[in-house]
Amino acid sequence: MEALLHQNKESLFTLFQSVNQHQINLGSLNTWWDKVALIGKINSLNVPQSLLTNMLETKAEFAELQSVLIENLLSEQLQQQQRRHSAIAQVIVDIPNRNLFERTADVGFLATDADLMTYLSQATHTDYERSQIESRLQEYAAKYTVYDDILLIDVNGAVQAQLDSANPVSDTNDPIIREVLQGDEPYYELCRYSCLRPNQSLSSLFLAPIKASEQEGGHILGMLCLSFKLEDEMAAVFNDLSQGDQAIFALLDESGNVLVSNQPHILPPDTLLSLSDEYHMLTLDNRRYLVASAKTRGYQGYMGLGWQGCVLLPLIPIKNDNGDNSKGSVDSKCWNGFSPTLTGIQRRSKIVTDDLDLVVLNGRIAAARSDADEFIPILEEIRNIGRQMQSIFSDSVSQLMSTALSTHFNDLSFDAALAIDIMDRNLYERANDCRWWALTTKFIELVASAGKNEEAQQTLTDVLTYINELYTVYTCIYLYDHQGQIVAASNPAFSHHIGEPVDAKTNWQGIKSLNSPQQYCVSEFEPSTYYNGQHTYIYNAAIQQQNTLVGGIGLVFDSAPQFQDMLNDVIVGSKRFAIYIERSGKVVGVCKGAPWNVGDQLELPPEVTQQENGYQGAGLYEIDGVEYTLGFAVSKGYREYKVSDNYKNDVIALVAEVNSRD
């Protein structure tokens, strides 16, 4: 950072106009001081030389302070930008990486769908059979709305079914086809142009072999291909991250080539960027940028394709770099996180000004003794200059304190918004899972009879166990009949509940009012006997046969570690705490080491708990007698989840630091 500062000082003055203006103002006062002192020296020969020497020494002290001030102002502004843009770069890569982790589970599970297996095992298909299987793919895409196409391809490379009928695939010579059909990996992933999506210049595809059952030999029947809406996803991410400046956001591949950017006219796809691990300067098309980049931290061991996030800030004046963007009416002096170096400069400038006042007072006495009244106006002007300088010192530091606090508030609210976004995206997948699994053919066929048929019960248990092994975010997945009697479960530790009525607190009866496979219902966040008495959500969907309710599926979300991992990822490497709360103040999730526990009740002001969905804010707040610098963000949903699916569940993410001097 120090090398970047010293090698690019003039460029940074262009970027940080408030610092540049302070330097210009101080330079003008220095020049005027020199002129005034020269006039005094020429016209006041009777003034003792020691007085002039004292004034020059005081001016030298101011000059030293000016140099330190400007250097530190630039350094502080640069560090604030670096922290902000490094955090954004990390989000740019980690959010899609988390999303794609879910896709690996999707493609692996859907490739074992019995209906798809049966379809591909047939040598020929009627138009009706094809339309039926494409309807099933449409049902899947209606749940998991992140896909724009799904293809079924047989062992000869022929497309046997496709979701996107507007862009039919006729060429399947992509080498990934051979790799999938001849390989032994559970799934394959690519991000490039592919003839499997001929209408797109960039495709994000997840592929998996579809195999016959082990009883039938386990041979490959064909393959499944899911096309993820990467550009659509990144447009939403970029929009959420935009904060009004002219920064360019980009998702890069492992080699530094641009995959997607928010300003493709400036940074088009396939542009190669030479990046450093440090915050650095980069020249692109004769324009200079400050650049921050970040590699994915991975998720649940999944590292994806080694993508990177990148932020480029053009060297043009930053708007509102003078403190005007501070949130709320908090006095920045109440915040204990400001640089002690700059507050020290502020104090030193006051001391030097006081010393100058003494010099002027002594000068007035000396001028009177030497009968040099003409020097008194010179002394007064120099004192005025000194006070103006001290005012600039004080104002510049105060402005930077305000800017620093505003930036810190933005950082906290940014982290809170990230935390709630991660939660919404994660629980969106849970809502998708329960609805899709409710359409499993075996469940529809057997759930009504499994309570009295051990073979049917075992078949359902095997399917549930397989699903749960793929989707480890659930401690148990269970099935119940239309009367609410549990008939099968994935977790052996849950088996003693089989034959019992479903606990009413799971909200299972909500499935009786569901009239579409697009609908689901969720329990309140309460302690559950199905989760060792801890708080959690349980997701439910109706299992229907020809529009008749035959049962339901319940998913016990492993909330404690899942929410903790989400929050830990947001505050990694910092001294911050992060929690999820309901509007009532009830704690839903906590990070590791947080001073609160799940289920605790916090008292927070309405300006935190009663804001509209999607609102972000920050301030200084007291919780349980401790003052915190606190950022917060209210959930706004993701895609249709909590937006247009009639599910109401407002959660607020809080990210906090104790407001005390270390």
Among 511, 543, 559, the domain boundary falls at: 559
Residue at 384 is within a domain: no
Distance CA 240, CA 418 (A): 9
Range of the domain at 167: 127-225
- Of 260, 246, 194, 199, the C-alpha closest to 225 is 194
**In which band, very low, low, confident or very high, does the pLDDT at 221 lie, cut at 50, 70 and 90?**
very high
What's phi and psi for 611, nearest 5 deg?
Answer: -80, 160
Question: Rounded to an integer, what is the distance from CA 21 to the centroid of its chain?
Answer: 34
Whether pLDDT at 323 is above 70: no
What's the burial of 659, exposed, middle or buried (CB within 10 Å: 0-12/13-18/19+)?
Answer: middle
pLDDT, tens only, 542-592: 999 999 999 999 999 999 999 999 999 999 888 899 999 999 999 999 999
Q: Which of 45-54, 114-123, 387-396 has the highest mean pLDDT?
A: 114-123
Residue at 404 is within a domain: no
Two tokens, residue 644: 């247009």
Co-location of 595 and 553 in the same domain: no
Q: Give the residue-averaged pLDDT of 105-117.
A: 93
Whether pLDDT at 289 is above 70: yes
Beta-strand runs (E) in 109-236: 147-154, 159-162, 188-192, 203-211, 220-228
Whether pLDDT at 327 is above 60: no
- Give me the DSSP letters along 271-338: -B----SS-EEEEETTEEEEEEEEE---BTTB-TT--EEEEEEESSPPTTTTSTT--TT--GGG-S-S
Distance CA 397, CA 73 (A): 8
pTM as predicted: 0.86
Distance CA 325, CA 321 (A): 8
CA distance to 31, 38, 67, 449, per residue, from 27 (Å) = 6, 17, 11, 88
Identify the DSSP state of 531.
G
Residue at 313 is within a domain: no
Among 539, 559, 579, the domain boundary falls at: 559
Report the percent of the chain where pLDDT is more than 70: 92
Whether pLDDT at 280 is above 80: yes
Co-location of 498 and 589 in the same domain: no
Query: If you average pLDDT over every residue of the chain, what do you get?
Result: 88
- Of 76, 415, 82, 94, the C-alpha closest to 276 is 82
Q: Count structural domains, the chain.
A: 3
3-state secondary structure of 616: strand
What's phi and psi for 652, nearest 5 deg?
Answer: -120, 130
- CATH number (domain holding residue 131): 3.30.450.20
Residue at 597 is within a domain: yes
Q: Give the residue-averaged pLDDT of 206-228.
A: 93
Contact 486, 447 (CB under 8 A): no
Co-location of 437 and 477 in the same domain: yes
Contact 432, 359 (CB under 8 A): no
Rg (CA), the chain: 33
More confident residue, 343 or 578: 578
- Of 66, 101, 100, 73, the C-alpha closest to 13 is 73
Residue at 31 is within a domain: no
Residue at 194 is within a domain: yes
What's the burial of 90, exposed, middle or buried (CB within 10 Å: 0-12/13-18/19+)?
Answer: buried
Co-location of 596 and 550 in the same domain: no
Distance CA 280, CA 350 (A): 36
More confident residue, 283 or 661: 283
Identify the DSSP state of 542.
E
Distance CA 596, CA 533 (A): 18
Residue at 174 is within a domain: yes
Residue at 286 is within a domain: no
pLDDT, tens only, 357-372: 777 787 777 767 666 6
